[in-house]
Structure 1
Amino acid sequence: MENQKNVPELRFPEFEGEWEKKKLGEVAEKITDGTHFSPKSFDHGEFLYITSKNVKDGYMELSNAQYISYEDHTSIYKRCDVKKGDILLTKDGTIGQSCINELEIEFSLLSSVAFIRTLSNYSNYFIYQLIVSDIGQKEIESQIAGQALRRITLHKINNFEFHFPTLLEQSKIATFLTAVDEKLQALKKKKSLLEVYKKGVMQKLFSQELRFKREDGKEFGDWEEKKLGEVVKIFSGNSPSLYQQKQSALNPFIKVEELNNCYKYQLISRNYTNSTKGLINKNCVIFPKRGAAILNNKVRINIVPLIMDSNLMALQCSEKIYFEFLYYFIDYEKLYKIADTSSIPQINNRHIEPYKINLPIKEEQTRIANFLSSLDEKINHTQTEITKTEVWKKGLLQKMFV
């Protein structure tokens, strides 16, 4: 085997021999795409109409799917009779996304999606895993490189070249990788459920439908309505031109885009400065003051002193409000509710100062913030597991295929 070239680096021990190179068209019973003509109507339809926006790696996203009439579906389905077990592949738009059709029902495809029906001696799940691997994606990219209009034709899909083992080995690889996918889906579902639970709990906590009790079991007192301007000090950032920035210096200098590099706590930056002009204390709540980032609700806590650019602002908490509680309040309320969104979204002092907040005593604020932080930790831990599993699978795909 040492002299064999067409063998994977990682292989089940019971298999040997070189894999055979074949074109996808040679191992498929049928490869075709959906309709090249738009259906007459999407009103009151009963048949799913799947386009490239509905096909993701590993699943179909049907929440935004359209429906077409029986007449339109029948016309499309005569040529494009996609069935359960067929491989779907996007050929326009976001090219190279793929999944196995697990639906029992008939549906129609737009031409932006192709389907591949494998011959009986080839595993559809093996070919799907091959397509989504780096090897498969590189083959797809090689077919569209240099094109002004990025699109895969059916002719090119038929000519994709891959290496194949025996059906038995294909099936074993596919079964193993499917188990990995199932683990990934379970983790993603767990994360989604935690996020839904957190959203519901925040709704109940900030509406006071759900209340914590004191350590002695007694009720906390009534919440007090305040204006944000009464409990925070507002800071805005400065122009980057005022600072000599370098990769290593005393204080982080952050811009809006660097809020993408963390989830809740802002710690590091790509740029630093030795200046102390505009330095804000740690444990402020920071967020963008203009632009689309407001709509994306990018709210962070700085856990080290730092300097902000002019597109950011910070709220420094007084003794009356716990900074973690303020973070979750703004995260729940959403920045766009505070902002002026009549044109380009923006937040200034005049939007912050009068904004109303109901405040419990500091002890209850801390209990609320700690509880929500514990949920965030579970969500982040689950995301870490997802990322690790995805990296592990990517490594497997690189080693288990030729």
Structure 2
Amino acid sequence: MDVPRLRFDGFSENWIKNTIQYFIDNKSIIGHLDGNHGALYPKSNEFSKAGIPYITANDFITGRIDFNKCKYLPEAKAKLFKKGIAKNGDVLFAHNATVGPCAILRTSFSYVILSTTATYYRCDLNKINNIFLLYFFQSDFFVSQYSSIMSQSTRNQVPITTQRKLSLALPILPEQTKIANFLTAIDEKITQLTQKCDLLAQYKKGVMQQIFSQKLRFKDDDGREFPDWESGLLGDFSEFIQSGKSNKRNENGDFVLYGSTGEIGFCSQFDYQGKNILIARVGANAGYLYEVDGNYCVSDNTLIIHLNKPNNYSFFYNLLKFLNLNKLVFGSGQPLITGGQLKNLNILVPSIHEQTKIANFLTVIDNKIAQAQAQLDAVKRYKKGLLQQMFV
């Protein structure tokens, strides 16, 4: 019997499972076209600052369209198109290059033009709830279908004719609506938490700008001003800045091996201990930095900053984040940042007591960001579990 594992009370009817083509033929889906425009495909110089939105898969943002990001066509040009003309309420599915993202088109425009990367599904709302269809496209059942097709080809796409061979499973309309409303409420929570994370990150960025430009200064516990900040080179405040030397990986070892962006394996013996700041030395991530502590190993594609005492690692980590080490990276073929560059980096540093005040203040913000992110991740996992159990 075609019913999901998790179901709302009051519903017992079987779900109707058939191909997309079947639902097109019985007029449940009354429109299904992509943006394959052939000779009309717009050239870069044909776009304008205003007009009719031209939507690509890259404009899909968490189930909606980002109209601030998309391109626009002059209305005279847009009127020439015969295919890929999507309207308010259509469900959009990314089928080419980027496959899988989907969105509901919510717009006051009378229509938009889809690029070759997107397909629209227009529902008879008396038969299919468009929000339900949006979530169905995100379900494991549907994802596994198009993933299986792509695994059999070297091309990352699911053409419109292939889409019509995929299966949908629909309950009666009231159950569709119940599911759609429930998952919409969860998405609204995800949106709220995402905005909270973004606002906290923006707040920290603004605070760091004030702190490291010294527009915001801290006072000691007795309310007195701290001394002026000391100018110097990063090398002056460091015991050493050098590449890691650990090259004997042992996946059965007890000690973490750190690479350019985090843990990459294990070692049987540690080469470094205590606090350090690690920085990606080479490759696309050159300039990325993070803090470590304990007993561990470090690969040779990673730079180690070991500070002189007394200095606060958290302060220096935030200072270097603020200074954006990516701007030091050079080389087009293989981006690189060197220990010599870091040693010669000019910085301003306060006393250890003010360093500690600043570090503690920023840590409080980081903890709030981490807490909000943990809440966001938990809701996303909850939604993922529902998508696995509420659809067949």
User: Do they fold alike, i.e. is TM over 0.5?
Assistant: yes
Which stretch has the larger CA shift, 80-89 or 154-163?
A: 154-163
Q: CA deviation at 1:45?
A: 4.5
1:264 match: none
Q: Would the aligned equivalents of 1:48 and 1:107 in 2 still touch at CA under 8 Å?
A: yes
Counterparts of 1:364 and 1:238, CA distance in 2: 30
Q: Would the aligned equivalents of 1:54 and 1:64 in 2 still touch at CA under 8 Å?
A: yes
Counterparts of 1:370 and 1:151, CA distance in 2: 49
Q: Quick one: structure 1 residues 394 and 208, their matched pair in 2 at CA, closer, same or farther if it must change by over 3 Å? A: same
Do residues 128 (structure 1) and 134 (structure 2) align?
yes
Q: Quick one: structure 1 residues 34 and 250, their matched pair in 2 at CA, closer, same or farther if it must change by over 3 Å? A: closer
The percent of aligned pairs where both chains have the same amino acid is 28
Q: Deviations over 1:56-108 (max 9, x none)?
A: 441224444222111111122x5443122110101101112101111222321
2:212 match: 206
Do residues 189 (structure 1) and 195 (structure 2) align?
yes
Do residues 33 (structure 1) and 38 (structure 2) align?
no
1:99 match: 103
Do residues 13 (structure 1) and 3 (structure 2) align?
no
SS across alignment from 1:293: coil
Do residues 247 (structure 1) and 239 (structure 2) align?
no
Which stretch has the larger CA shift, 123-132 or 330-339?
A: 330-339
Q: CA deviation at 1:55?
A: 2.2
Do residues 72 (structure 1) and 62 (structure 2) align?
no
Q: Would the aligned equivalents of 2:233 and 2:345 in 1 still touch at CA under 8 Å?
A: yes
Q: Quick one: structure 1 residues 341 and 208, their matched pair in 2 at CA, closer, same or farther if it must change by over 3 Å? A: farther
2:85 alignment partner AA:
D
Kindly report which structure 2 residues correspond to 1:43-192, keeping only aligned pairs within 5 A, or say none: 43-76=48-81, 78-105=82-109, 106-120=111-125, 121-192=127-198
Q: Deviations over 1:116-157 (max 9, x none)?
A: 011122100111100011111112224444123232222222
Q: Would the aligned equivalents of 2:96 and 2:157 in 1 still touch at CA under 8 Å?
A: yes
Q: Would the aligned equivalents of 2:35 and 2:85 in 1 still touch at CA under 8 Å?
A: no
Give ranges in structure 1 of 5+ residues lacking alignment: 262-268
Q: CA deviation at 1:24?
A: 2.5
Q: Would the aligned equivalents of 1:339 and 1:351 in 2 still touch at CA under 8 Å?
A: no
Find the partner of 2:311 among 310, 321, 328. 321
Q: Deviations over 1:285-318 (max 9, x none)?
A: 1112222211xx4211111132212111211111
Counterparts of 1:376 and 1:184, CA distance in 2: 20
1:39 alignment partner AA:
P
1:284 alignment partner AA:
N
Counterparts of 1:73 and 1:234, CA distance in 2: 61
Q: Deviations over 1:204-233 (max 9, x none)?
A: 110011122222223222211121111102
Counterparts of 1:306 and 1:144, CA distance in 2: 41
Q: Would the aligned equivalents of 1:191 and 1:382 in 2 still touch at CA under 8 Å?
A: yes
Q: Would the aligned equivalents of 1:47 and 1:73 in 2 still touch at CA under 8 Å?
A: yes
Q: What's the Cα RMSD here?
A: 2.1
TM-score (norm 2): 0.91
1:375 alignment partner AA:
I
1:351 match: 341
Find the partner of 1:386 among 359, 376, 387. 376
Give ranges in structure 2 of 5+ residues lacking alignment: none
Q: CA deviation at 1:324?
A: 0.9
Find the partner of 2:285 among 290, 293, 296. 293
SS across alignment from 2:357: helix
Counterparts of 2:149 and 2:296, CA distance in 1: 48
2:355 match: 365
Counterparts of 2:177 and 2:333, CA distance in 1: 56
Counterparts of 1:127 and 1:174, CA distance in 2: 8
Counterparts of 2:176 and 2:80, CA distance in 1: 36
Q: Deviations over 1:336-377 (max 9, x none)?
A: 234445764333332122211111111111111111112121
Q: Quick one: structure 1 residues 139 and 248, their matched pair in 2 at CA, closer, same or farther if it must change by over 3 Å? A: closer
Q: Quick one: structure 1 residues 349 and 401, their matched pair in 2 at CA, closer, same or farther if it must change by over 3 Å? A: closer
SS across alignment from 2:72: strand
Q: Would the aligned equivalents of 1:10 and 1:399 in 2 still touch at CA under 8 Å?
A: yes
Counterparts of 1:179 and 1:238, CA distance in 2: 48
SS across alignment from 2:168: strand
Q: Would the aligned equivalents of 1:252 and 1:272 in 2 still touch at CA under 8 Å?
A: yes
Q: CA deviation at 1:52?
A: 1.8
Which stretch has the larger CA shift, 374-383 or 165-174?
A: 374-383
Find the partner of 1:305 among 295, 314, 317. 295
Which stretch has the larger CA shift, 339-348 or 169-178?
A: 339-348
Judging by fraction of residues, say which structure has more strand. Answer: 2
Q: Deviations over 1:213-260 (max 9, x none)?
A: 22222322221112111110224345555x3x323435433222xx24
1:109 alignment partner AA:
L
